[in-house]
Amino acid sequence: MSETSLVQEFTKGLWEEIPPFRLVLGLCPTLAVTKSVETGIGMGLALTFVLVCSNILVSALRKIIPSKVRIACFIVIIATFVVVVELSMQAFAYPLFLKLGIFIPLIVVNCIVLGRAEAFASKNGVGASIADGLGMGLGFTISLSVLGSIREIFGAGMWYGKEVFGASFQPFTFMVEAPGAFVCLGLLLAIMNLAGKK
């Protein structure tokens, strides 16, 4: 695989196919953990780790895994890395783990991870799969932090825990509640659609 195409595999996750906007997958964590930038980035990085690791293993084993049980194999691989993330997050970032709650174990059923394993890693080499996983993971992290920023700034008047506006700012609580998540993501998606039109 030549170098330019590796770069391509990586950058497509950052713009052309950026999840969850272009690739409408993995909506649950997108909506649930973007109350603040911190949780958004935490979730994004956890997902990136799982995605890269599972992509490496799936593509390395793609010739050994029989196609009939491939989904079961993918699930075992993904679930293993999710538990690794779960344990290390408890050990090194416990407050973040408490905030993300059940959404860490739920990475296991995140369609992005299984989707990339099935659609990309099981058909491509290890190098390309790493590039793909990194790109998709970082794209997801960027999306989550943008969404998290918007919701935190308007919904709580803070960014990364710091005051943005003065004390006179009345937080727009709608944004940090559930409905704000849907509306905000919907509007961002529309903006992305506008920007993507050629």
Partner 1 sequence: MRDIIRMIVVLAVLCALSGGLLAAVKSGTAEKIEYQQLKFVKGPAIKEILKGCSNDPIVDRFKLQDGDVERSFFVGVFDGKPNSVAYETFGKGFGGPIGIMVGVNLETDKVIGMGVTTHSETPGLGARAKTDETFKGSFKGLSINEPVKVKTDGGEVDAVTGATITSRGVCAGITESAEFYKRLKPQIVEKAKAFAK
Partner 2 sequence: MGDYILLAISAILVNNILLIQYLGNCPFLGTSKKMDTAVGMAMAVVFVLTMAGIVTWILETVFLKPLGLEYIRTIVFILVIAALVQFVELFLKKSIPALYAGLGIFLPLITTNCAVMGVCLINIKEEYNFLEMLVSSLAYPAGFGLALILFAGIRERIIIGRVPTAMQDTAIGLVTAGFMSLSFLGFKGMI
Binding site for partner 1 (CB under 8 A): 64-66, 68-69, 72-73, 76-77, 79-80, 83-84, 87-88, 90-92, 94-95, 98
DSSP-assigned letters across all residues of 7-22:
HHHHHHTTTTT-TTTT
Taking the C-alpha atoms of residue 139 and residue 99, their distance in angstroms, rounded to an integer, is: 22
Contacts with partner 2 in 21-60 (CB under 8 A)?
A: 24-28, 31-32
Residue 121 CB-half CA count within 13 A: 34
Nearer to partner 2 by C-beta: 60 or 76? 76
Residue 95: C-alpha distances to residues 44, 81, 178 (Å): 16, 20, 22
Taking the C-alpha atoms of residue 59 and residue 107, their distance in angstroms, rounded to an integer, is: 20
Q: Binding of partner 2 at residue 11 (CB under 8 A)?
A: no
Q: How far is the CB of 39 from partner 1 (least distance, A)?
A: 16
| Among partner 2, partner 1, none, partner that 8 touches (CB below 5 to 8 angstroms by kind) | none
Taking the C-alpha atoms of residue 147 and residue 158, their distance in angstroms, rounded to an integer, is: 14
Q: Binding of partner 2 at residue 80 (CB under 8 A)?
A: yes
Q: How many residues bind partner 2 (CB under 8 A)?
A: 44
| Among partner 1, partner 2, none, partner that 180 touches (CB below 5 to 8 angstroms by kind) | partner 2
| Among partner 2, partner 1, none, partner that 181 touches (CB below 5 to 8 angstroms by kind) | partner 2
Q: How far is the CB of 42 from partner 2 (least distance, A)?
A: 16
| Among partner 2, partner 1, none, partner that 187 touches (CB below 5 to 8 angstroms by kind) | partner 2
Q: Is 33 in contact with 101 (CB distance < 8 Å)? A: no
3-class secondary-structure state, position 98:
helix
Taking the C-alpha atoms of residue 141 and residue 135, their distance in angstroms, rounded to an integer, is: 10
Contacts with partner 2 in 59-78 (CB under 8 A)?
A: 71-72, 75-76
Contacts with partner 2 in 81-140 (CB under 8 A)?
A: 82-83, 86-87, 101-102, 105-106, 108-111, 114
Sole residue written with tokens 């990136």:
48
